[in-house]
Structure 1
Amino acid sequence: MTTAVAIVGAGLGGLALARVLHVHGVGAVVYEREPARGARGQGGMLDIHSGQAALREAGLIDGFRAIARGEGQDMRLLDSDGTLLLREDTPPDAPQARPEVDRADLRDLLLDSLPEGVVRWGRAFESAADGVLRLEGGGSARYDLLVGADGANSRVRPLLTPARPAHTGQHVVELGIPDADRTHPELAAMVGRGNYWVLGDGQSLGAQRNGDGRVRLYLSFYRTPADWITTCGVPFHDPEAAKARLLELFAGWDPRSTALIGACDDVVVPRAITALPVGLTWPSRPDTTLLGDAAHLMPPAGEGANLALLDGAALGRAVAGHRGDPGAAVAEYERGMFERSAAAARQSAQLQEAMAAPDAARRMLAFFQPG
């Protein structure tokens, strides 16, 4: 008997699960609410480290290495006064231990590895009960195992736990400089090939080189109320005025770093950072489980995409090893997932606390250079 697997969400974790199941000869269907593959942008670069094990299990490690940017491992860490605290440049022959990869490229690699029709676009999950999944706008499907891979605001999660993401105190404003080498070569050279990170008291400015030539800028504010977006005085509806106000919020910082804000285009996107409780678990059910952010949403610390990939591979391996017994597969998978994600969530929370501290730059230097 083969377990019928219904996956809700075509993010990295859901696609990794579908791919590993395919490798083991187990069919699955992925239901994705987006109307088409390219319906929206997929964000910036990802630091893929532990997740490489999942890509290896999925038979995609060579494809990953072809799209990964080893030079994206470069890092520059500065204090808000412009003092360079740490510079790491990656030699050409260095192992790709933590290469950067464009999220869209990685998603395409996973999508292209699946048979036609596995992903059903424009099919939003509505509800599930008694082994039947129902979709918005009509339609249903039977399943033996339902997997919520549908992110922070998962619709599947309430089937297992009442836990909901809560505000962490952090807000991030994303901006970007397109074709930075041509439009602002001096700033592009300052950022370098990878990540440029400036830390101050309760704020940070992070710049990240993308494979398409864009420099993405992430301004973080760590001690903010949940309604900060509407109360901070930044007119996000007016990009030029928003950038001017953001520059005011970084007054006193080294002007070479804040010049990045003024160089950005008119894409200004604020986001509240939320997280699920650290160490969240739920009573195991034989027909439903979660992976990725749906299971263990945490503050950004370079772990989210890696955990999603590992979850997908681990669940796929468990389902293949317990064909016809989804309850045993879920129990095996969740034991490992709970332990793995709890450790990562604790570290992410500790890093966020360090980033909010008045001496954040020195704390992060100690993190990268312990002892």
Structure 2
Amino acid sequence: MTIVIVGAGPGGLALARVLHVHGIESAVYERETSRNARGQGGMLDIHSGQRALREAGLLDEFFAIARGEGQDMRLLEPDGTLLLQEDTPDDAPLLRPEVDRADLRDLLLDSLPAGTVRWGHAFESADNGVVQFANGSHTTYDLLVGADGAQSRVRPLVTDACPAHTGQNVVEVGIPDIDRTHPDLAAMVGRGTYWVMGKGTSLAAQRNGDGRVRIGISFYNTPEDWFAKSGIPLDDPAAARARLIELLPGWDARFTALIEACDDTVARRSMTTLPIGLTWPSKPDVTLLGDAAHLMPAVGEGANQALLDGAALGLALAAHRDDYPAAIKEYDNEMFDRTGKAARMSAGMQELLRSPDAARKLLEFFQPS
């Protein structure tokens, strides 16, 4: 069997690694030109995904790069009221440690035989067991796995479902080397996640392993074209920071100081999801994993489910070496059930964040009576 994996994210690489552990070869085709072609984003909270890393034989290596202190959390209201502060003891178990996306990707990449990942191959089409890439090359497959993210180009081979806007738009900014450049703000944010929850808005500041604090300012209950009407000049960082502060009237000066201290990296994200509980009739030669299969609200489940998908598919293929269609059907059914539950939970959390009293509801979530 020739197994072709499209996408070198956590899920696709976890699948390739578990297959390798069981002596099964695969090839991963990635549109990026190299592992360092672009930044990989911020931190990931890896909890249930640790099971997948155990199956991949990488759990100890993961713990070596994970940040236990990243489990710290502070929750505040826009007027500065501190609702919750959780500081992780140094000897606390690594139940939900944070890890840099790039570090996790490097861990998975370095665990694979040289040449497993084929860089610079953007998927274009697939038909009759042949994949065409945008660079003009092609390859044959017996099994094609779409691990190519939210805007998956493999997904249409199994379903016509498309991501829909959730009503959340996010502006991402950040402060590099915060301990040296702004030690007062560094002390305020702490070692983990710093959340300010307002009515229809939130600010989430998170310490990254490289010393940068990554800040996401979310606007809930907003239309898909909100950025066009927001008055945020994304091509003018200083003016964008000023406009963001205008959009947070009445917020404590400590929070707007975080925005004022940010560098000129400004990005926008319009959040989308696939339908909760999405399924499709199992096919013997194509399946999906990760965001390609079950894009859900970004509340900490996506990467974990992608890792679990990769491990589950790899184990199913190893268990049914002479009957891959049976392996795909077994994997699809398990994945549909598991990720459907995760998607429903994530949607519930998204509704909580959209509510007018999100801060108090979050407090009740983290500290149930």
TM-score (norm. length: structure 1): 0.98
Structure 2 residue identity aligned to 1:322: H
Map 1:1-371 onto structure 2 (within 5 A): 3-371=1-369
Work out whether residues 32 and 123 of structure 1, in 8 Å CA contact, stay in contact via their aligned partners in 2. yes
Deviation per CA, 1:327-368: give whole Å up to 9, x if none.
111111111111111111111111111111110000111111
Q: Where does structure 2 lack aligned partners over 5 or more consecutive residues?
A: none
Alpha-carbon distance in structure 2 between the residues aligned to 1:177 and 1:26: 44
Task: Return the offset for 1:289.
Answer: 0.3
Deviation per CA, 1:216-243: give whole Å up to 9, x if none.
0010001111101111111111000000
Alpha-carbon distance in structure 2 between the residues aligned to 1:72 and 1:137: 40
Alpha-carbon distance in structure 2 between the residues aligned to 1:198 and 1:75: 11
Work out whether residues 144 and 326 of structure 1, in 8 Å CA contact, stay in contact via their aligned partners in 2. no
Deviation per CA, 1:193-216: give whole Å up to 9, x if none.
000001010000000001100000
Alpha-carbon distance in structure 1 between the residues aligned to 2:141 and 2:98: 36
Structure 1 residue identity aligned to 2:123: F
Q: CA-atom RMSD, angstroms?
A: 0.7
SS in 2 for 1:85: strand
Deviation per CA, 1:7-58: give whole Å up to 9, x if none.
0000010000000000000000000011111000000111000000100110
**Percent of aligned pairs with the same amino acid:** 71
Structure 2 residue identity aligned to 1:196: Y
Structure 1 residue identity aligned to 2:324: P
SS in 2 for 1:41: coil
Alpha-carbon distance in structure 1 between the residues aligned to 2:13 and 2:157: 21
Structure 2 residue identity aligned to 1:306: N
Task: Return the offset for 1:324.
Answer: 3.1
SS in 1 for 2:359: helix
Alpha-carbon distance in structure 2 between the residues aligned to 1:287 and 1:264: 47
Task: Return the offset for 1:325.
Answer: 1.8
Deviation per CA, 1:100-134: give whole Å up to 9, x if none.
00000000000000000000000111111111111
Task: Return the offset for 1:254.
Answer: 1.4
SS in 2 for 1:344: helix
Deviation per CA, 1:137-166: give whole Å up to 9, x if none.
322222111000000000000000000001
Structure 2 residue identity aligned to 1:147: V
